[in-house]
Structure 1
Amino acid sequence: MSNITIVSTTAIALNLISLIGTIFIGLICIFILSMLLPSIVRQRDVVLILVVNNYLALLTFALIAIPMNIDMARGDYNLSIGMETFSCRVKGYLFYASIAIVFNNLTLQAVFRFLRIVYPTYIWLQNVLTYLVIIPTMWLMSFLFILPVHVWHDIQFIRMENTCFLVIYSARGFILCTIIMNCIPVIIMNILYLQLKRFIRRTTTTISARSKRDLIVLMLIFTDVGKPIFYRLQYVIAVIVMIVLSFLFVLVTPQAKAALVCFHKPNKVTSLYEQQCVSASKAIKQVLLETNIFSDEI
């Protein structure tokens, strides 16, 4: 009896952490998006577009995860007992699809940075219109690739969780989700990592620093295990990873940081802030210019 109580208390605590975390993710995404969207309209920078795309994916995850957290909390306190319905299964499907979207978009950003560094002369690979086509395609592919687990009925109502999840005994569902959400991004980013590592050895200090910053994103992969509170653990770990990503997307993107600094500069600020914004923009342009010059020399 005591073990059941401990597991129940742990599950409730994990759900509370998840709920707070997902709300926090949603607020961060709304805050960041409200500041970056005006910069995209003015600059039409591919890097900023990809960062905004990542935050939209995180916001989508939060909007799907929060109702599921609430359902679990209502079940924990016996406020409402759910049942398996089509909408419940769709909600569970969207939860896994949103995770796939986040990590596939993360892979897209890694691919863009790789191409920008290694093949800077291929202008069409850095064109805004190219990524305005690729981004919706990535979203659609993420939804379609996870769709089989819904069609196979591998996402079912879990009575203890009071919501629908991918059942723990569904081998094919877990294999598919692992391949789509983890394996494919890991393989692609490992290939990029090895290629960039070889490229860095032949480049200047400036390009090397940019490449190392880009490589930080490539190492963000999560796995989880644990049976008594398996579903809560996978939920909490996913939320923690999303929180880390919500901060990391800005920290590793100079354009995004410069846009945030400029956004906070009101019309009546001193010229010091104006100089900081201008200097940040010039520094970014200088790095890109040096990269192109260096590539031409090679």
Structure 2
Amino acid sequence: MINTVEFILNCITLVIGICTWMVILMILMLIVYYLFHNRIKQEDKMTIIHGINMYILLLIFTTISISFNIQTMLGDLNKQNFNSFSCILAGYFVIVSINSLYYVFFNQALFRLCRIVYSTYGWVQLSWIHIILSPIEIILICILYSPAFVWHDIVYLTKEYYCFIDYTNLRLSLWVSFNTYGIPLCLLMLVYLRITIFIRQQSNNLTWLTKKRQQQDLIVIRRIFIILSLLIIIGLPTIILMIRFYITGKLHPLFYRILWFSVTLSMMILTITMIILTPQLKKIVFKYFRHNRVIPINRTLPNQNQNQ
């Protein structure tokens, strides 16, 4: 018999996921089109490239999460079995994509670090270095999670009908949590501290224009922390349920449904927040909507009457 709460929660997650996927695809197409059809300053170009990297990873992650939700729905309704090697791969790559997503934020901060602290080293500011950084990180993350195959820790969840981490496995859950959240957040903190210390030490020897640019870069990193903090707050229900499991030894029946609901909601909020908090991306998206805005008839009629 279908658990009504589980089924409804899965349906809500699926709807949010599909809406998020459509928004991501639209934004990604707008950004790519703008990048190839406009002359862009070097600084803005790097910001846009980081944005493209992020939205590609979001698209991959959201696509896999939607497939998971569909499998869960079909499993709830028809008890279909989706256990296969491709299922294991999907579970593996969803972990890789979410981990890579957090490193995109680190890459943005690293770019600002190079601009401020290592501005005299021209090679660290070359575009191609920052462009190839994401693919290199993805490869390293794939290697980092390769033991999951050896340990057979990505398993088919019989009650959820997809392959993912078994959070009752303490070893892998801690490994994933540390690599996904711990390392990127620590790196971001180090970058922020390094930039802050550098700016304070150099504050008396810089021109007003340089100080202004550095403060703008620092604001960007603070925005990154705001976004990450928001994502962590949204994920608190899952964290609380995990702590509950470690204390009681019993995993909540709705754990995975709540997990995917909070994660999918986080991706939707991240998709929108990045546009709002990134001026370059905001300009691209809002420019499109301004060009396609329809002027109401009741606003045009008075002007026509006056002309007559």
Give TM-score, length-normalised by structure 1.
Answer: 0.78
Q: Find the counterpart in structure 1 of residue 281 from structure 2.
A: 256
Q: Find the counterpart in structure 2 of residue 91 from structure 1.
A: 90
Q: Find the counterpart in structure 1 of residue 23 from structure 2.
A: 28
Is 1:216 the counterpart of 2:223? The answer is yes
Q: Which amino acid aligns with 2:255?
A: F
Deviation at 1:254, TM superposition (A): 1.8
| Change over 3 Å in CA distance of 1:113–1:24 after alignment to 2 | farther
Q: Find the counterpart in structure 2 of residue 62 from structure 1.
A: 62
- Report the Cα distance in structure 2 between the residues aligned to 1:23 and 1:133, rounded to whole angstroms: 30
Deviation at 1:64, TM superposition (A): 1.0
- Report the Cα distance in structure 2 between the residues aligned to 1:35 and 1:139, rounded to whole angstroms: 24
The answer to whether the 8 A contact 2:31-2:48 is kept is yes
- Report the Cα distance in structure 2 between the residues aligned to 1:150 and 1:24, rounded to whole angstroms: 32
Q: Find the counterpart in structure 1 of residue 10 from structure 2.
A: 15
Q: Find the counterpart in structure 2 of residue 82 from structure 1.
A: 81
Deviations 1:229-278 (A, max 9, x none): 221222222212211221222222222222334445659xxxxxxxxxxx
Q: Find the counterpart in structure 2 of residue 157 from structure 1.
A: 156
Deviation at 1:108, TM superposition (A): 1.4
SS of 1:14's partner is helix
Deviations 1:89-136 (A, max 9, x none): 112112211211211222212222333343334333332211222121
Deviation at 1:35, TM superposition (A): 1.0
The answer to whether the 8 A contact 1:114-1:192 is kept is yes
Q: Find the counterpart in structure 2 of residue 291 from structure 1.
A: none
- Report the Cα distance in structure 2 between the residues aligned to 1:121 and 1:196, rounded to whole angstroms: 15
Q: Find the counterpart in structure 2 of residue 46 from structure 1.
A: 46
Deviation at 1:20, TM superposition (A): 1.6
| Change over 3 Å in CA distance of 1:37–1:175 after alignment to 2 | same
The answer to whether the 8 A contact 1:166-1:173 is kept is yes
The answer to whether the 8 A contact 1:200-1:211 is kept is no
Deviation at 1:13, TM superposition (A): 2.8
SS of 2:78's partner is coil
Deviation at 1:207, TM superposition (A): 3.5
Give TM-score, length-normalised by structure 2.
Answer: 0.76
- Report the Cα distance in structure 2 between the residues aligned to 1:261 and 1:121, rounded to whole angstroms: 35
Q: Find the counterpart in structure 2 of residue 113 from structure 1.
A: 112
Is 1:187 the counterpart of 2:186? The answer is yes
Count of residue pairs the alignment pairs up = 262
Superposition RMSD on alpha carbons, in Å? 2.6
Larger Rg belongs to: 2
- Report the Cα distance in structure 1 between the residues aligned to 2:213 and 2:85, rounded to whole angstroms: 54
The answer to whether the 8 A contact 2:71-2:82 is kept is no
Runs of 4+ with deviation above 6 angstroms: none
Unaligned runs of 5+ in 2: 204-210, 242-250, 293-308
- After superposing the two structures, state which structure 1 stretch, 176-185 or 187-196, moved more: 187-196
| Change over 3 Å in CA distance of 1:17–1:107 after alignment to 2 | farther
- Report the Cα distance in structure 2 between the residues aligned to 1:113 and 1:206, rounded to whole angstroms: 10
Deviation at 1:137, TM superposition (A): 0.9
Deviations 1:202-234 (A, max 9, x none): 654564244123212134053533231221222
Q: Find the counterpart in structure 2 of residue 273 from structure 1.
A: none
The answer to whether the 8 A contact 1:46-1:127 is kept is no
The answer to whether the 8 A contact 2:192-2:221 is kept is no
Q: Which amino acid aligns with 2:93?
A: L
The answer to whether the 8 A contact 1:105-1:138 is kept is no
SS of 2:168's partner is coil
| Change over 3 Å in CA distance of 1:32–1:83 after alignment to 2 | closer
| Change over 3 Å in CA distance of 1:205–1:127 after alignment to 2 | closer
**Superposition map of 1:217-296 within 5 A:** 217-219=224-226, 220=228, 222=232, 223=235, 224-225=238-239, 226=241, 227-228=251-252, 229-264=254-289
